[in-house]
Amino acid sequence: MDDNKRKKRAIGYSLATMLILIGILGVIVNDALAGDGVIGQIFFFVCLIISVGMYVYLGCMDKRDINHEENINNNHKASSPISNIIWLIATSVFFLIGFIFDGWDYAWVAFLLGAAAESIARLYLDYKTKD
């Protein structure tokens, strides 16, 4: 990718990130001024939706990135069922902790554990396939 495209993508990613931060600032300001926060939340989600669209567009611009993603997917086809099981368990644990124990404050840790478990599974499969 040439420098001009790289600079445009960097600017796009920066603008998308700043838009998310502006949305968060809108929530804070609206909460401080109005107190209800509904307008601030709507403003935040509008900013978030636009930013996610920008991230997706910028991520799909370079054909080399798409080919790299296909190579990664081809290298880890065997881990796909394991990955699906890990994330199904992590999501189930999240909802169990949240609903049964009313532990929404710390239920998100299930996703961190899911990410760690998936990384360990991928490392194991990579190690096993090298032999």
DSSP for residue 2:
-
Question: Following DSSP, what letter does each residue of 68-109 receive, concatenated?
Answer: HHHHHHHHTTTTHHHHHHHHHHHHHHHHHHHHHS--TTTTTH
Per DSSP, the chain holds a count of helices (H) and strands (E) of 5, 0
**Cβ atoms of 18 and 46 closer than 8 Å:** no
| Predicted pLDDT at 32 | 83
Predicted pLDDT at 109: 92
Cβ 118 vs Cβ 87: under 8 Å = yes
Q: Where do the domains of the chain lie?
A: 3-68, 76-130
CA distances to 27, 28, 34, 72, 126 from 22, rounded to whole Å, are 9, 10, 17, 34, 41
Is residue 35 helix, strand or coil? coil
pLDDT at 69: 52
pLDDT per residue rounded down to tens, the chain (131 residues): 577 888 888 888 899 889 888 988 888 888 888 777 678 888 888 888 888 888 888 877 766 555 555 555 555 555 578 888 898 899 999 999 988 888 889 899 999 999 999 888 888 888 877 76
What does pTM read for this prediction?
Answer: 0.46
